[in-house]
Amino acid sequence: DIQMTQSPSSLSASVGDRVTITCRASQDINNYLAWFQQKPGKAPKSLIYAAFFLQSGVPPKFSGSGSGTDFTLTISGLQPEDFATYYCQQYKSYPLTFGGGTKVEI
């Protein structure tokens, strides 16, 4: 299985900050990488697919980059509604696997 490692596991930030979350794959996954946002008690929300394409309706303050094994999710101008846990997922090979999550806290 491909292991997905996210860092940091949590971070503290302030409204207006720009934050970057890193996701590393245990092997080359090309750009088969997605990002999800999850708020407490809610289902995940799809943000980004294919490493940098935004899902419909996702604001451009979210951006993704990377290819191969190293990827980043950047959130610009943090707003209160952005405080959540973020997960990456590889879909290069089966079983599909997720990172352990990064909790973005105030």
Partner 1 sequence: QVQLQESGPGLVKPSGTLSLTCAVSGGSISSSNWWSWVRQPPGKGLEWIGKIYHGGSTNYNPSFKNRVTMSVDKSKNEFSLMLNSVTAADSAVYYCARAMTGDDTPDYWGQGTLVTVSS
> Which residues here bind partner 1, judged by CB under 8 A?
32, 34, 36, 42-46, 49-50, 55-56, 87, 89, 91, 94-101
Structure tokens at 73: 């999710």
**Could you give the 3-state DSSP secondary structure of residue 18?**
coil
Closest CA to 82 of 53, 63, 62: 62
Whichever of 16 and 41 has its CB closer to partner 1, that residue is 41
Whichever of 17 and 22 has its CB closer to partner 1, that residue is 22
Residue 95 Cβ vs partner 1, minimum distance, rounded to whole Å: 4
